[in-house]
């Protein structure tokens, strides 16, 4: 006979949403049991070595795995009950969960249930897709960032959403060569600052393209891509073959909400949220009283949003059990809902600010491949750039061209020279008169979208300070290639100074001397 346990709030999934829900419920003195099939809590957070966007309240400027460490430490301190290496195989009448741990089964009866099971990566079938070397972007991220194994040396990334762009960058950080990133749509779906990081490193981003075939005998040896017509069908004669040993697929996520479906919760179809998702009220409660869903299981979104949804569900579940008074619960939920509103502003606006296109720069044709070019800076920043030569002190050049939720540049500036304001999806504005040229904003920017320009370095040269996150690090006096925002070499440059204090969280500031006439165009370096 199955062993039977009881708890007040059972939380399925110990990722960002589940941890946040467990923390809030336990703070209210409710008994919460957090269940996860993995050996440790944290979920996807421990794969995420990049810095988060958002505000300080969302962990902006902090790397994902560090946020995971903080959440796990808080949950442990509060005494959250953990059932790890445990799979939930069913939800039965009376809110009874069927659990399996080390081939043993047991039942867990809960008064309230919060489902925070996340999402699963979508597959993309094509000839050769079963060859070793074809994997999802998440699998590659797990190999690199959890197990410290490089999945391949020459990689094709399929998909230009945030996951594809971020993992492509992390592959390059780990030492792989990104042969190309292909995106079936006419534009990338992720943040332009992520694409810009790839372009500065010389990566190709091919829009209106997709993979047609993987070739190889016992493993991937090459990939064939093709241009797509407006109906997303391959155009004959546009095929190109790349020599690669790894193909990563980042073609969307689907909410893992089968447990809610098993319970009989009502669902709706939301394409923008990844497919069929549970119908929820403002407290993240399903159409069945006492069952809540939070995080990607409720609809695919960012980890910061998952944490806020988890907090709301945890507070609501504790409130329903009488651990939080209604008035206090309303205040706590309102705080999370306000933070959610800030983060989701981007969903209700035109993501990209209209900017002038530089002819032949943003998009071009090369051998039948349509190249994506990151947007050039907005007009007010371009005007600022044109007047840089007249300034007598270092000044940050901010190339943030999208309405995305992010303000670490504002909150990190000790002289209050950068203003984002409300909402945090505003583009940052710089007051040059207040700026001291300290460079702190460069290291704090999650998108690595800021460089510091000092036109007063010498009579013939300017000093450009850029964010740098690759290994090996250059050394002072090294000669490097200075590149523009498209990874094109502008000139040779000498490394003058490197700053990498602990407070910069592994984003080093590398200062290089370049001729004045090209200084404004310099956005990165490549080690010769």
Say if residue 356's pLDDT is above 50.
no
Lowest mean pLDDT among 3-7, 15-19, 256-260: 3-7
Lowest mean pLDDT among 370-374, 511-515, 520-524: 370-374
Q: Quote the mean pLDDT of the chain.
A: 90
Taking the mean position of all CA atoms in its chain, how far away is CA 496? 32
Say if residue 362's pLDDT is above 50.
no
Whole-angstrom distance, CA of residue 266 vs CA of residue 293: 12
Say if residue 368's pLDDT is above 70.
no
Consecutive H or E run containing 19: helix 16-27
SS3 132: coil
Under 8 Å between Cβ of 382 and 521:
no
User: What does the pLDDT read at residue 382?
Assistant: 42
Name the residue among 305, 409, 347, 406 with its Cα closest to residue 53: 406
* 225 vs 1, more confident: 225
* 379 vs 503, more confident: 503
235 Cβ contact partners less than 8 Å away, ≥ 6 residues apart: 226, 227, 228, 229
Q: What is the mean pLDDT of residues 392-416?
A: 89
Say if residue 353's pLDDT is above 80.
no
pLDDT band at 1 (very low <50, low <70, confident <90, very high): very low
Whole-angstrom distance, CA of residue 224 vs CA of residue 369: 13
Taking the mean position of all CA atoms in its chain, how far away is CA 96? 35
Task: Give the residue carrying structure tokens 């505000």.
Answer: 55
Whole-angstrom distance, CA of residue 239 vs CA of residue 489: 28
DSSP string, 78-124: HT-EEE-SEEEEEEETTTEEEEEETTEEEEEEEEEEEE---EEEPP-
Say if residue 351's pLDDT is above 80.
no
Whole-angstrom distance, CA of residue 331 vs CA of residue 456: 52
Q: Using a pLDDT cut of 90, give the percent of the chain over it.
A: 81
User: What does the pLDDT read at residue 423?
Assistant: 86
pLDDT band at 364 (very low <50, low <70, confident <90, very high): very low
Which domains, from first to last, does the chain contain? 3-120+254-347 (3.50.50.60), 123-251 (3.50.50.60), 375-527 (no CATH)
pLDDT band at 343 (very low <50, low <70, confident <90, very high): confident
Phi then psi for residue 470, to 5 deg, are -110, 160
Whole-angstrom distance, CA of residue 397 vs CA of residue 450: 6
Which structure tokens are listed for 201? 């490193």
162-173 and 192-200 are packed helices; what angle lies between their axes, rounded to 10 degrees? 30
Consecutive H or E run containing 394: none
Say if residue 517's pLDDT is above 60.
yes
Whole-angstrom distance, CA of residue 501 vs CA of residue 506: 8
**SS3 per-residue string spanning 484-519:** CCCCCEEEEEEEEEEECCHHHCCCEEEEEEEEHHHH
Strands 479-483 and 461-468: unpaired
Say if residue 324's pLDDT is above 50.
yes
Rg (CA), the chain: 24
Q: What is the mean pLDDT of residues 9-36?
A: 97
327 Cβ contact partners less than 8 Å away, ≥ 6 residues apart: none
Q: How many residues does the chain have?
A: 528
Name the residue among 469, 431, 465 with its Cα closest to residue 451: 465
Say if residue 347's pLDDT is above 80.
no
Dihedral angle over CA of 445, 451, 452, 458, nearest 10: 160
User: What does the pLDDT read at residue 360?
Assistant: 32
Under 8 Å between Cβ of 52 and 64:
yes
Say if residue 522's pLDDT is above 60.
yes
Name the residue among 439, 357, 434, 358 with its Cα closest to residue 398: 439
Q: What is the mean pLDDT of residues 101-127?
A: 94
Consecutive H or E run containing 258: helix 258-263
For the chain, the helix, strand and coil percentages under 3-state DSSP, each to the nearest 5: 30, 30, 40
User: What does the pLDDT read at residue 419?
Assistant: 94
pLDDT band at 348 (very low <50, low <70, confident <90, very high): very low
Say if residue 464's pLDDT is above 70.
yes
Whole-angstrom distance, CA of residue 199 vs CA of residue 376: 13
The H-assigned helical ranges of 131-216 are: 137-145, 162-173, 192-200
Phi then psi for residue 340, to 5 deg, are -60, -45
Say if residue 501's pLDDT is above 80.
yes
Across the strands, what pairs with 493?
Answer: 480
Whole-angstrom distance, CA of residue 306 vs CA of residue 313: 11
Taking the mean position of all CA atoms in its chain, how far away is CA 277? 22
Lowest mean pLDDT among 189-203, 219-233, 363-377, 469-483: 363-377
pLDDT band at 350 (very low <50, low <70, confident <90, very high): very low
Whole-angstrom distance, CA of residue 338 vs CA of residue 322: 24
Name the residue among 139, 245, 178 with its Cα closest to residue 470: 178
Task: Give the residue carrying structure tokens 């081939």.
Answer: 103
Whole-angstrom distance, CA of residue 133 vs CA of residue 146: 18
SS3 145: helix
pLDDT band at 345 (very low <50, low <70, confident <90, very high): low
Lowest mean pLDDT among 156-165, 200-209, 320-329, 376-385: 376-385
């Amino acid at each position: 006979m199955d062993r039977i346990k009881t708890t007040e709030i059972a939380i399925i999934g110990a990722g960002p949403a589940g941890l946040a829900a467990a923390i809030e419920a336990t703070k209210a003195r409710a008994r919460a049991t957090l269940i996860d099939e993995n050996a440790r809590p944290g979920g996807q957070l421990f794969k995420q070595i990049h810095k988060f966007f958002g505000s300080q309240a969302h962990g902006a400027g902090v790397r994902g795995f560090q946020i995971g460490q903080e959440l796990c430490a808080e949950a442990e301190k509060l005494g959250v009950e953990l059932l790890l290496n445990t799979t939930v195989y069913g939800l039965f009448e009376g809110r009874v969960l069927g659990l399996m741990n080390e081939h043993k089964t047991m039942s867990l009866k809960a008064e309230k249930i919060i489902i925070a099971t996340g999402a699963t990566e979508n597959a993309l079938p094509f000839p050769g897709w079963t060859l070793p070397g074809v994997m999802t972007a998440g699998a590659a991220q797990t190999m690199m960032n959890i197990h410290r194994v490089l999945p391949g040396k020459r990689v094709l990334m399929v998909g230009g959403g945030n996951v594809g762009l971020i993992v492509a960058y992390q592959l390059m950080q780990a030492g792989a060569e990104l042969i190309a990133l292909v995106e079936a749509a006419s534009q990338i779906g992720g943040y332009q600052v992520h694409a810009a990081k790839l372009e500065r490193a010389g990566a190709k981003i091919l829009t209106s393209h997709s993979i047609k075939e993987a070739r190889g005998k016992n493993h991937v040896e090459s990939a064939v891509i093709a241009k797509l017509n407006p109906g997303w069908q391959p155009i004959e004669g546009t095929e190109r073959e790349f020599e690669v040993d790894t193909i990563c697929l980042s073609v969307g996520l689907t909410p893992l909400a089968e447990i809610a479906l098993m319970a009989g919760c009502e669902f709706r179809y939301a394409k923008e949220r990844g497919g069929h998702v549970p119908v929820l009220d403002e407290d993240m409660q399903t159409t069945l009283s006492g069952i809540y869903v939070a995080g990607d299981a409720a609809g695919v979104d960012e980890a910061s949003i998952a944490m806020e949804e988890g907090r709301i569900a945890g507070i609501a579940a504790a409130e329903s059990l009488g651990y939080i008074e209604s008035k206090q619960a309303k205040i706590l939920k309102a705080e999370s809902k306000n933070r959610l509103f800030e983060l989701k502003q981007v969903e209700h606006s035109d993501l990209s600010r209209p900017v002038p296109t530089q002819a032949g720069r943003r998009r071009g044709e090369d051998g039948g491949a349509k190249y994506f070019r990151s947007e050039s800076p907005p007009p007010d920043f371009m005007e600022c750039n044109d007047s840089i030569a007249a300034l007598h002190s270092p000044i940050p050049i901010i190339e943030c061209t999208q309405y995305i939720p992010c303000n670490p540049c504002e909150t990190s500036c000790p002289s209050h020279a950068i203003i984002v304001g409300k909402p945090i999806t505003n583009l940052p504005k710089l007051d040059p008169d207040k700026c001291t040229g300290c460079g702190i904003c460069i290291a704090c920017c999650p998108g690595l979208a800021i460089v510091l320009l000092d036109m007063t370095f010498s009579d013939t040269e300017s000093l450009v300070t850029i964010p740098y996150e690759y290994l090996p690090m250059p050394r002072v006096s090294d000669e490097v290639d200075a590149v523009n925002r498209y990874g094109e070499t502008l000139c040779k440059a000498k490394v003058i100074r490197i700053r990498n204090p602990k407070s910069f969280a592994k984003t080093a500031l590398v200062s290089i001397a370049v001729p004045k006439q090209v200084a404004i165009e310099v956005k990165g370096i490549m080690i010769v």
